[in-house]
Structure 1
Amino acid sequence: MKERKKSWKDYAKVVMTKLPVFIFCVIFISGYSHFFGQENSIVGVILLMGLLMLMKADFGYSSAVSGGLIAITFIGIGGLALLAGAGLWWGLLCHIIAMVWMLALVRYDVSHSLYLPFFMGYVMFVGYPVSGHSAELRMLSLIIIGTAIGLVHFVLNRSQGSRHPFREMWAPFSLKEGQARWATTLGVTLVLTLFLGEAMGFPKTMWMALSVVSLLTPLEDEVHKRQWLRVPATLLGCLLFFTLFGYLIPESYQSTVVLMAGFMSMFINSYFIKTIYNSFSALVTATLIMPTESAIWLRILGNIIGSIIAVAATYLFARIWKKQDGGDEYSLDA
């Protein structure tokens, strides 16, 4: 049967469905920044992402356990990110603790996506350090909103059964399993990336680390495609930002363009297009605290370095797993 061609009414319906969510997002971020400080706004973005992704999530445990773990994890990674700023080696220890905890949390996630708000959150919390009263407000927000997200998760999933008791979160695992291999690859690579960036004194280690998180996805079919697309999409995103905000759009209209771009991003499914948007959005924030040219070059360089690290890790660990299996291929679902 031939598929009916979509009319303008169909597209309008999709837009109207997304609009309330977008309005909620704008209100949430604006309210968060008002109460917890503009310098902590990125934490508000992560908490919003966590709310939207984790409301109906299945971690494999009972809803009470999962809800508690969500709150504990947001609070924990916020605290570890603050402690990581105390020094290079102290930071390395904090990174290792955070990775081990987060990967243990999502070990029974069958959707292979629940790690994202926590991993992106930790990287961004480290990438946007605060101190003094701002740090107190950050932790307060993680306690209040992180707990609220856990409660929402509990309420919406009360009827959900438990596939695993809580004690199995720390049960021994086998490196013959695809999930354990992915977790090892991502955890080791991300810790080393954060450590390397901080040791080099790279101003935006966060952008290197986010590239690693994006490219070392547990979705095997996506890995190689993303590795080819990441850098070209980053270059286009930087070029788009430089052209629009450098030449075409007056400063008085730029905030409107950012708002419109944010709404349009809700309809993006392509990794290539989404990466272009992410580069554009990241530069909007970065240029508030550094010159435009510096932000663009750091964005490009950070993504190139992060991509090289991720590709190298992919092939290095693939060789390790292949050798362990005696030459056999492995699967995430093994």
Structure 2
Amino acid sequence: MKKDFKSFLKLAIKNLITLVLIVAFIIVFSAIFGSENQLIGVGLVTGLMMFYSVDLGLNKKQAPFIILGICMLMAISNIVSIYNIYLAIVFNIFTIYIFMTLSTVHLMYKTYMPFILMYIFAEGMPIEQNQITKRVLAFILSGVILTLVYCIKHRKLQNGKTVKDIYKDISLSKETTIFNIKMTLGITIAMFLTEFFNIEKGMWISITVMSLTQPHFSMTKERIKHRFLGTVIGVVCFFILFGGLIPSEFFGIIVAILSYIYTFMKSYWIQIIFVTINSLNAANGVFNTSYKAGAYRVSFIFLGILISLFIVFLEKMLDRKVKEYPSDEEEIQENKEQNILSNKQEVLTNGDEVC
């Protein structure tokens, strides 16, 4: 009993310190680059935590140029989307497929997460022309920081893949290639709909598509069920907590407590409950009423589910038998890296469901 209590206390302190440091980092990032770039800082934090533990499987000489290059490419595509939503389709397809391909050498470790989060968050936080410089600098600095942390931590790695090796491996018979195509099409469709209909908080759709798009349909089905259930329960809980039960002056305290409790949650659908409550609270200034925010949240989740199922339908039309995870060095190291994977899971669930 004492041992269990000590373990829990250690975890509680660790989670609290991590949460405080993350909040402090995002506040500083926001102070430098503005609130319109705050969520890029969230994606950056996710990348720092992930890249510290897991390598991208890239050649160590090329890795710095790849990481920084991806961030610069995302900045360019994001600026293009401000001026022309139709040209943005082309840039989104190109950009998303490029960074997905370069960051999925180890598909099972989801090392694409920081890049896709930063990209979705940037698209979801529109800027004016006079804010373009800060947006570009936010991406570039994020790329520099990620590059430095990654290269210092993984400087002794050997046998990483070069860009040439990665693109030689592209094949419709491989699961990684199919997954990258699905993610590219799904996110591009979600972003286009958001821009075309000028949807407030439309990145909720993109986040849903990102979360539900998985290598296997069985995993997608499971996530659809849990995400929709968790969202509905979260909306109900939000109305109960913030609809009159708790005085408005205590809202900030309650949100902080819920964010802390969330760090202990392991079940996906329970995580969605907490994420939904926090997201609706953050959207209070966007929608006229809490009920409108809740209705939008549920409808956006539903739309994200439809897009994900449409992409699965396109996949089935290919009627191809794809191989599972490519048999490269990651399979040899699988047992060795199980501890890394379990530690990283907290980062994935946090980043996967930030919004």
TM-score, structure 2 normalization: 0.84
Q: Quick one: structure 1 residues 187 and 285, their matched pair in 2 at CA, closer, same or farther if it must change by over 3 Å?
A: same
Give the corresponding residue for 1:28.
Answer: 25
The letter of the residue matching 2:201 is: K
Q: Does 1:79 align with 2:76?
A: yes
Give the corresponding residue for 2:299.
Answer: 301
Of the candidates 150, 153, 162, which is equivalent to residue 153 of structure 1? 150
Any gaps of 5 or more consecutive residues in structure 1? none
Of the candidates 94, 97, 102, which is equivalent to residue 97 of structure 1? 94
SS in 1 for 2:208: helix
Within a 5 Å distance, the mapping from 1:165-184 to structure 2 comes to 165-171=162-168, 173-184=170-181
Give the corresponding residue for 1:208.
Answer: 205
Give the corresponding residue for 1:271.
Answer: 268
Supply the distance in 1 between the matched residues of 2:279 and 2:55 (Cα, whole angstroms): 30
Of the candidates 226, 229, 233, which is equivalent to residue 229 of structure 1? 226
Of the candidates 298, 312, 315, which is equivalent to residue 314 of structure 1? 312
Q: 1:272 offset after TM fit, Å?
A: 0.5
Alignment check: 8 A CA contact 2:186 2:308 kept:
yes
The letter of the residue matching 2:324 is: S
Q: Quick one: structure 1 residues 202 and 30, their matched pair in 2 at CA, closer, same or farther if it must change by over 3 Å?
A: closer
Supply the distance in 2 between the matched residues of 1:331 and 1:69 (Cα, whole angstroms): 25
Supply the distance in 1 between the matched residues of 2:130 and 2:13 (Cα, whole angstroms): 40
Supply the distance in 2 between the matched residues of 1:110 and 1:312 (Cα, whole angstroms): 22
Any gaps of 5 or more consecutive residues in structure 2? 328-355
Per-residue deviation, residues 4-34 of structure 1 (Å, max 9, x unmatched): 7963222111112222212211210111122
Q: Quick one: structure 1 residues 90 and 316, their matched pair in 2 at CA, closer, same or farther if it must change by over 3 Å?
A: closer
SS in 1 for 2:14: helix
- Provide the alpha-carbon RMSD of the alignment: 2.2
Give the corresponding residue for 2:193.
Answer: 196
SS in 2 for 1:73: helix
- Segment drifting more, 218-227 vs 83-92: 218-227
Q: 1:332 offset after TM fit, Å?
A: 4.2
Per-residue deviation, residues 35-73 of structure 1 (Å, max 9, x unmatched): 222232112111111111122332221334223322222
Per-residue deviation, residues 80-113 of structure 1 (Å, max 9, x unmatched): 1232121221221221122121122123124341
SS in 2 for 1:55: helix
Q: Does 1:324 align with 2:320?
A: yes
Q: Quick one: structure 1 residues 115 and 80, their matched pair in 2 at CA, closer, same or farther if it must change by over 3 Å?
A: same
- The structure, 1 or 2, with the larger RCO (C-alpha pairs under 8 Å, 6+ apart) is 2
Supply the distance in 1 between the matched residues of 2:283 and 2:275 (Cα, whole angstroms): 12
Supply the distance in 2 between the matched residues of 1:111 and 1:150 (Cα, whole angstroms): 21
Q: 1:314 offset after TM fit, Å?
A: 1.8
Alignment check: 8 A CA contact 1:193 1:306 kept:
yes
Q: How many residues align?
A: 326
Give the corresponding residue for 2:237.
Answer: 240
Per-residue deviation, residues 129-168 of structure 1 (Å, max 9, x unmatched): 1124433222222222320121011001011113312322
